[in-house]
Structure 1
Amino acid sequence: MTTLLFNARRRPRAPRGAPALLLLLLAGPAPRAIANAIADDLAPATAQAPGLLERYDSGGQYGMLPITVSQLEDQLRSPDLQASVGKGAIAVLYPNVSEPFRGAFIGMIQGIEERTRVRVRSYAVDTRFDAADLNAQLKRNGTRVVIALGRQGLNVAAALDSDIEVLVGGALLLSDAEIANLNGISLTPDPALLFARLRALLPETRRVIVVYDPKKTEWLLRIAREAARGQGLELVSHEARDLGQAAQLYATLFGSADSRRDAVWLPHDTTTVEEGTLLPLILKQAWNSGVPIFSSNVLHVKKGALFAMSPNNVELGRSLASSAEGAIAGERKKGVQPLRELHTAINLRTASHMGLNIGYQQQRTFDLIYPEP
C-alpha cells in the first residue's frame, strides 16, 4: 500500500481519449465544439467540485478555481503547455513534514514551477513508502527527472529505477561517500560567497581559520581552499575527529589569533560545530578575544556570530528546475554543487562589539538583521 501523498500544485489531468483532441488544439485554432467535448469529458471528474485543483495543499484544503470552456481552450493553447509536450515530466519528492520545515520545501517547489515549462508533479513522502508503486506511478506519468528535496526525498530517490535521472536539493550533504554518485545542489553555502562577504565587511582580514572533521567536510574544504585563493585569503584548516579534539583546537586557535587579520569559519559540521556544548564555548571565546566568526548556519547569527548565510528557497528551486531541464536535454552531469542562492544575515550587536559601524546603506545589503529591530 502506498503512503505517498500527492501534494503541491495539482494540474488538470487530461481525460481518457483527450490526447488526440489535445494535438488538434495545439495544431491550430480550436473549434469551440472540441473544447466543449473536452469539458463534457471532464464533467464526471469535477461533478463534486466547482473547478479544477490549482493550489498547494494546506492541511488538506484545496483552493478551487472555476473554469469555463473558453478558459480551458486558452490553457490548451498556452505556450507553457505547448513547450512541455513531448518533454516528459519532472517529479519532486519532498518530506511530508510540518511547519516551519514544510514551508521551506514548498518555497523550493514554487521556484521549480516558476522556472520550468515542463510539467511538474510533487509528492510528499515519508519513511513508509512502496518503491514499486512509486516507480510505476512516475513512469506512468512520463517522469524524466526526479528532484529529491531534503534527506527523506533523497532516501526515497535511492529506491528509484536507474533509468530515472535524480537531482538532489534542500539537503545537507556531509561526506564524500554521500556525494559520490549524486548530482544537484547541497544546502551548504558556497564558501566563495561567504569569503567575499567577509572581505567586504573586514577588508583587512588575511586568514580564515576552520576546524573540520575530514570524514564529513573534506569535499567542502577542497572547494573552500580554491575559493580562499580567489579572495586573496589564506585558509588555515585543522582536522578534528571528535568533539574533545575540536574543543582543544578552538581554545588554542582563539588564544593565538590576531583579531585584526584572522577570522574563524564555522561550516556545517556536526563534529566540530556541535550545537549543545561546543558552540557556546566558541561564541564565548570569539566574544572575549574579538576574533570574528562567521557561519554557514544562519541560526548562529542569532546566538552571536557576526554573519551567516541561509538558503533562498525559491531561487534554489529555480536553479534545480534549470538543472532538470538541462538533464532532459541531455546535458552532462555536474556532481553536487554548494548553494549559491542565499540570504545573508548579520548581528549588529556583535559588529558593534568588534568596533564595526554598519551604516544604513550597508545594512540594506543584508536580508536578515539581528537583534531584530
Structure 2
Amino acid sequence: MVRSTVRTVACVCALLLGRPALAQALTVLYPELADPYRTVFAEIIQGIEEQSKAKARGIPLAANSDLVDLRNTLKNGKVVIALGRQGMKAAGTLDPSLGVVVGGVAGGGAAPDAERLHGISLTPDPTLLFGLLKNLLPGVRRVIVVYNPQANDALIRLAREAARGLGLELTAIEATDLAGAARAYESLLASADGRRDALWLPQDATTVEETTILPLVLKESWGRSLPVFSSSVLHVRKGVLFGLYPNNVQLGRDLAALALAMQNGDATRRGLVPLRAVRTALNSRTASHLGLNLVSAQQRSFDAIFPEP
C-alpha cells in the first residue's frame, strides 16, 4: 500500500512539473546521410532522448528502404517522430492510426497526409527575427520581403502578425519566378531608406535564389547601407547582417515533448509550427559598415560571428 501511494505521488509530481513520470522510448525515423547532415540528426535525436529520458528507437532510412516492411514494423505503435523530408515521406505511408510528429524539414512544402501531421519546421519564427532586428536597429520601422506565395504564404501571414505586435510595418511583395523577383527587388531597393527600412530574406528558393538574386541583393543593399537579415545562417557568411539557425538539441527536446503529449492522449496543435529553438549569427563586417559598433558583450551574445576570427 505504501509503495503504491509513493508511485502515485511521484506520477502526480512529474505531471505537475511538466515531465513524463517514467522514461518513454520514442521511435525516430531519420535519413541515412553523410556528415554534416548525419551530425544534425544525431543532435536532434540527442535532444529527443534527453526529453524522453530513454534511448530512442532510431530507424535510419536509405533511398531504397522497404516502406512496406517499415509499416509492418510500426503497426502497433502510437507515435513516431519523422525527421527530414525522407522521414516525413516515409511517415505518410504508415498506418493512419499512428500519430506522426515531423521535424527537420523546411516549412511551406506540401506534405503527404498533412492533416494528421504535427511538428516543427526549420523556418525560424518571424517574431524572433523581428525582435532581434528591433534590438540591433531600434530605428527600423519597416520590414521589406519578396516571397513566392506558393511556398511561403502561411509564413507571411505569421510575419504580418509578428510585425504588428512589434510596431513594425511589413511590405510583402509576391514573385513567382526569378524575373519577377528581380524586378521586385529593383523597385524596392531603389526606394528603400536604410535609416528606417530593413530587408528580410526568407527561406525561398525562388525569391532568394543563390546564384543571381542573392549576389544582386547583397551588392545593392551594401551600396545603399540597407540592413538585410535572413532566415538562413548561410547568408550571414555571405554578408547578411544577421540570421537564425536551429539549436538541434533543443529542437529534439521540443519534438519529444510533442510526441510524448500525443502518446499520452493530450491534444496538440496540427500542422508545422515555426522554429523557436534557434541560435543567432552575426556578420561583424556588415555591422561595422552599417555603423553598428557592438561592444564585446553584445557580440558574445551571438552564437556565431562571421567572418570567423
Same fold (TM over 0.5): yes
Q: Does 1:166 align with 2:105?
A: no
| Equivalent residues of 1:312, 1:341 under 8 A apart | yes
Match of 1:263 in 2: 198
Paired residue type of 1:284: K
Match of 1:83 in 2: 22
Paired residue type of 1:224: A
Q: Does 1:325 align with 2:265?
A: no
Match of 1:107 in 2: 43
| Equivalent residues of 1:298, 1:345 under 8 A apart | yes
SS of the aligned residue for 2:265 comes to: coil
Deviation digits for residues 30-73 of structure 1, max 9, x if unmatched? xxxxxxxxxxxxxxxxxxxxxxxxxxxxxxxxxxxxxxxxxxxx
Mapping of residues 23-34 of structure 1, within 5 Å: none
Q: CA RMSD in A?
A: 2.0
Mapping of residues 112-261 of structure 1, within 5 Å: 112-117=48-53, 120-139=56-75, 143-175=77-109, 180-181=114-115, 182-261=117-196
Deviation digits for residues 129-148 of structure 1, max 9, x if unmatched? 22221122224xx5321111
Match of 1:358 among 291, 294, 300: 294
CA distance in 2, matches of 1:178, 1:328: 21
Paired residue type of 2:46: Q
SS of the aligned residue for 1:124 comes to: strand
Q: CA deviation at 1:179?
A: 8.8
| Equivalent residues of 1:93, 1:124 under 8 A apart | yes
Paired residue type of 1:298: V
Q: Which consecutive unaligned segments of at least 5 residues does structure 2 have?
A: 5-18
CA distance in 1, matches of 2:52, 2:138: 40
Q: Does 1:301 align with 2:240?
A: no
CA distance in 2, matches of 1:268, 1:180: 20
Q: CA deviation at 1:82?
A: 8.2
CA distance in 2, matches of 1:280, 1:82: 52
**Higher RCO (CA-CA < 8 Å; seq separation 6+):** 2
SS of the aligned residue for 1:155 comes to: helix
Q: CA deviation at 1:117?
A: 3.4
Deviation digits for residues 67-123 of structure 1, max 9, x if unmatched? xxxxxxxxxxxxx99824xx6x42101110000111000000000001113562011
| Equivalent residues of 1:179, 1:336 under 8 A apart | no
SS of the aligned residue for 1:143 comes to: coil
Q: Which consecutive unaligned segments of at least 5 residues does structure 1 have?
A: 1-25, 28-79
CA distance in 1, matches of 2:122, 2:113: 12
CA distance in 2, matches of 1:179, 1:320: 19
Mapping of residues 263-302 of structure 1, within 5 Å: 263-302=198-237
CA distance in 1, matches of 2:178, 2:221: 18
| Equivalent residues of 2:26, 2:57 under 8 A apart | yes
Q: CA deviation at 1:333?
A: 2.9
CA distance in 2, matches of 1:246, 1:119: 47
Q: Does 1:95 align with 2:28?
A: no
CA distance in 2, matches of 1:353, 1:237: 26
| Equivalent residues of 1:206, 1:262 under 8 A apart | yes
Deviation digits for residues 169-209 of structure 1, max 9, x if unmatched? 01112246779423100001000000000000000000000
Distance 1:144 1:323, change over 3 A: same
Paired residue type of 1:321: A
SS of the aligned residue for 2:34 comes to: coil
| Equivalent residues of 2:261, 2:268 under 8 A apart | no
Identity of aligned residues (%): 53
Larger displacement relative to structure 2 (179-188 or 92-101)? 179-188
| Equivalent residues of 2:233, 2:244 under 8 A apart | yes
CA distance in 2, matches of 1:180, 1:320: 17
Deviation digits for residues 242-298 of structure 1, max 9, x if unmatched? 000101110111110010000000000111001111111011011011110000000
CA distance in 1, matches of 2:159, 2:42: 30
TM-score by length of 1: 0.75
